[in-house]
Every structure is written in structure tokens, then in C-alpha cells.
Amino acid sequence: MLVKRKREIISLGMDEIRPAEFTGPHISPKEFKQMLDDGDEVVVLDARNDYETRVGMFDGAVELDIASFREFPEAIGDLPDEYRSKTVVMYCTGGIRCEKASAVMLKAGFDDVRQLEGGILGYFEECGGTHWNGDCFVFDQRVALDHQLEETEIVMCFKCREPLSADEQESEQYVIGQHCPYCYGA
């Protein structure tokens, strides 16, 4: 086994953000589901990268269209001003990125930022797939899980590492081990 020591688990590049000292409060998956069931006026914010959001998202979630978590602080600056005074419930795969992301948003002047405890995977475990569309990208050999936490048919392109749906795998631009619709011709 290889163990690497890193300065940051999830790299943000902002030393002043210390989740152990300051972060947004957590809400349980059941509380979050109830908010969605009731149609509460909240901003649901996806804190993940664009290749992850293409695989699946919560109903009505705001997507930041970021390629890397380091882009998060700049991306929230582009959100509509009215979000600053609303309740924002953010989520990521397992909750780790939201520890930092919620602190960044609070520091940037958002009034009420909460994070989904356990992230998407915790939600699937407690609430199933209600209010979710698609699958959940994971950072291991499984690539993506469905709402029952079962591995899906999604694969990663060998060349560009983009996740590919079953439909994308049928594309003429997808050749196993060579290229996919995202990197074909690049």
C-alpha cells in the first residue's frame, strides 16, 4: 500500500479556510428531503465539478460549472446577489468538500449556508433516490453509483478521464483505450 502525505485533502488554495474552526451547519438527509418534499424556498447548490454534475444532480440544483474545486471561490461570486440572503443547502459526493465550501460562502457574505450531512451518498443511504436525477460519480474504480449504492454502467475514458454514460459509449467517437466524444480529435 502506498500512503502519501498531503497538505490539503481537498485542495482549495485558501489557507485561511479551516473547517475544523469554522464551517456551515449540517442538515441531515431526512431534513433535506423534507425541505424538498415541502417545496421550501432554498437554493440547492451542487459543489462538485462539472464532470460529476453531468452524471447526476438533485432536482433544481444550481450547477457552478467548475472543472476543479479550486474554481469554487470565484464561481460563487458569479451567483445571483439574491442568493446571499436565502438559505443555501449545498451538497457534494460525501460531504468533505462542503466543509470547506460552506466556510468559503459564509466568509464571502452568504447569510445562511448549510451542508448536507454525508453528502449524496449519505442521502442515498437514508432517503434513496427521491429528488435525484441520474447517478453519483465516485472517485474509485466503480466510477458511479445509483441511488441504491450499486455500481452503474458508467465508465471513464482512458485518455481524458471523463465519465461516459452507456449512450456515450455507443458513440462512434468512443474507442476503448483511445478516445471518447469529449477528447476525440484533441
Strand partners, 17: none
Contacts of 38 (CB under 8 A, 6+ apart): none
Quick one: 129 exposed, middle or buried, by C-beta within 10 A (0-12, 13-18, 19+)? middle
For residue range 73-101, list pLDDT tens digits in order.
999 999 999 999 999 999 999 998 999 99
Q: Is 92 a catalytic residue?
A: yes
Q: Is the full-model pTM beyond 0.85?
A: yes
**Annotated catalytic residue within 92, 98, 127, 180:** 92
Record the cell numbers describing residue 73, joined without a space.
471561490
Q: Which helix (H) or strand (E) holds 36?
A: helix 29-38
Instruction: Kindly report the backbone phi and psi dihedral angles of residue 104, in degrees, each rounded to the nearest multiple of 5, phi listed first.
Output: -60, -45
Quick one: 132 exposed, middle or buried, by C-beta within 10 A (0-12, 13-18, 19+)? buried
Looking at per-residue pLDDT, the higher value among 185 and 152 belongs to 152
For residue range 7-61, list pLDDT tens digits in order.
656 666 666 666 667 789 999 999 999 999 999 999 999 999 999 999 999 999 9
Q: Which domains does the chain have, with CATH numbers?
A: 26-146 (3.40.250.10), 153-186 (no CATH)
